[in-house]
Amino acid sequence: MNTPRSAVDRLLDDGSGHRPRADARRNVERLVVAARGAVAEIGVEVGTHEIARRAGVGVGTFYRRVASREALLEAVLHEVLAEIADLADRALEAPDPWAGLSDFAVGYVRLRAESCGIGEALGGACGPALDRSLAELRQRIRHLVERAQAAGAMRTDVPWQDVAFLLAAASTGPHTLGMVAGPQQWERNLQVILDGMRSARPSPLPGTPPG
């Protein structure tokens, strides 16, 4: 399996094969780190000035180093989706198919819960730019689900498409009906979902109920 290119390498690849100057690479690395943080907190609508501010560079430097805000965000989201795909690949190698699926689910939902932008990207907010990465991730989820079902560890009446929506549903907002969610609310949600998918006895819930 080929190792996916990092966001920095994607942005520095101008097709010439020339190695970029060290200062250029450092600036792009700072922009990528800043963009990842901004996308997580604000979402994919984050502006150029905010990313540049977080990176400690001027807007002029921003545009000297990357073609556009869209190009930077696309590279960052491809990088994060590649990390999620790597989680899935490692889960597929787990000796226990249910443990592999469960571990992937925890990592996947944690990313959705902690990153506003990843939730938006996975929901299709970025248009066709991420279509291939999303298709590859769908295939991995399908393999994880079918592997767990073939092992008799998961209900066979729950297709992998349902699982994709169930995992997305585990990440909720911090408030509902005048109540405030606890810090482990998404983990509680996910445990209920996993127990509902499983063919074995339910597991104890982590954390405490919302207050």
Q: State the fold for domain 77-197.
A: Tetracycline Repressor; domain 2 (1.10.357)
Domain range summary for the chain, segments of one domain joined by + = 7-71, 77-197
Q: Which two structure tokens, joined as six digits, stand for 13?
A: 């690849």
Residue written as tokens 């506003």?
A: 116
Separation of alpha carbons 122 and 124, rounded Å: 5
Q: Which two structure tokens, joined as six digits, stand for 195?
A: 């127990």
Separation of alpha carbons 29 and 12, rounded Å: 10
Q: What is the pLDDT along the chain (211 residues), one digit of tens a residue?
A: 456 678 888 887 766 667 777 878 898 999 999 999 998 888 888 899 999 999 999 999 999 889 888 889 888 888 888 889 999 999 999 999 999 999 999 999 988 887 778 877 777 767 787 888 889 999 999 999 999 999 999 998 899 999 999 999 998 888 889 999 898 999 999 999 999 999 767 677 788 877 7
In the prediction, which pLDDT does 9 show? 83
In the prediction, which pLDDT does 6 show? 86
Q: What architecture is the 7-71 domain classified under in CATH?
A: Orthogonal Bundle (1.10)
Separation of alpha carbons 174 and 182, rounded Å: 8
Q: Which two structure tokens, joined as six digits, stand for 177?
A: 């009906």
Q: Which two structure tokens, joined as six digits, stand for 58?
A: 């001027």
pTM over 0.75: yes
